[in-house]
Amino acid sequence: MRVAVTDANIFIDVIHIELQDELFAAELEIHTTLSVLDELNERQQAILATHIKQKQLTVHSKEPTNIPREVEANKRLSPSDKSVFSLAIELHALILTGDGLLRKVSVSQKIEVHGIIWLLDRFIEKNLIAKNKATEQLRRLMLYNKRLPVEDCEKRFKDWS
């Protein structure tokens, strides 16, 4: 099973499109940090609390360590972003995020990184959702999350139809 460290925006997106159960069924060992959970609202935290109790989500509370100097010095990365990055290094994990800067920094440091569209592909691959449901949920997400890469979304609509 692949280990993944998840950023707040992934939790926000999967909860918005009501696919949080699929996230925890996608054959990924999901980890996050306390600072990521602190970025979520009470409803989102309550939804994730169920998965924490079921040991499907592991929350780490320690401060970031093992961060390369150039990443630590990047003032545009939030403490939460740095905690995700540090945990991914520690666990030899991939990062799940929709944050452009965290994605760019992760790629530059040779850490595998994916976003919500990759997760939808994985949900289909693992037979957790049908292609028509993925299309419907991605369209719904596009109305909510204006930062999604439109070209990638359009490609999925074509591939999934």
Q: Is 64 helix (H, G, I), strand (E, B) or coil?
A: coil
Q: What is the pLDDT of residue 62?
A: 77
Q: What is the pLDDT of residue 150?
A: 95
Low-confidence ranges of the chain (pLDDT < 50): none
Task: Look up residue 2 and give its DSSP letter.
Answer: E
> Taking Cα atoms as reference points, which of 138, 32, 51, 74 lies closest to residue 129?
138
Q: What is the pLDDT of residue 55?
A: 97
Q: Is the domain covering 2-120 a CATH 3.40.50.2300 domain?
A: no
Residues 6+ apart with CB under 8 A from 88: 5, 94, 95, 106, 111
In angstroms and rounded to an integer, the radius of gyration of the C-alpha atoms of the chain is 15
Which tokens sit at 52?
A: 């924490």
What is the spatial distance between Cα 28 and Cα 5, in angstroms, rounded to a whole number? 10
Task: Compute φ and ψ for 117, nearest 5 degrees.
Answer: -65, -40
Q: What is the pLDDT of residue 71?
A: 80
pLDDT in tens, 37-48: 999 999 999 999
What is the spatial distance between Cα 37 and Cα 32, in angstroms, rounded to a whole number? 8
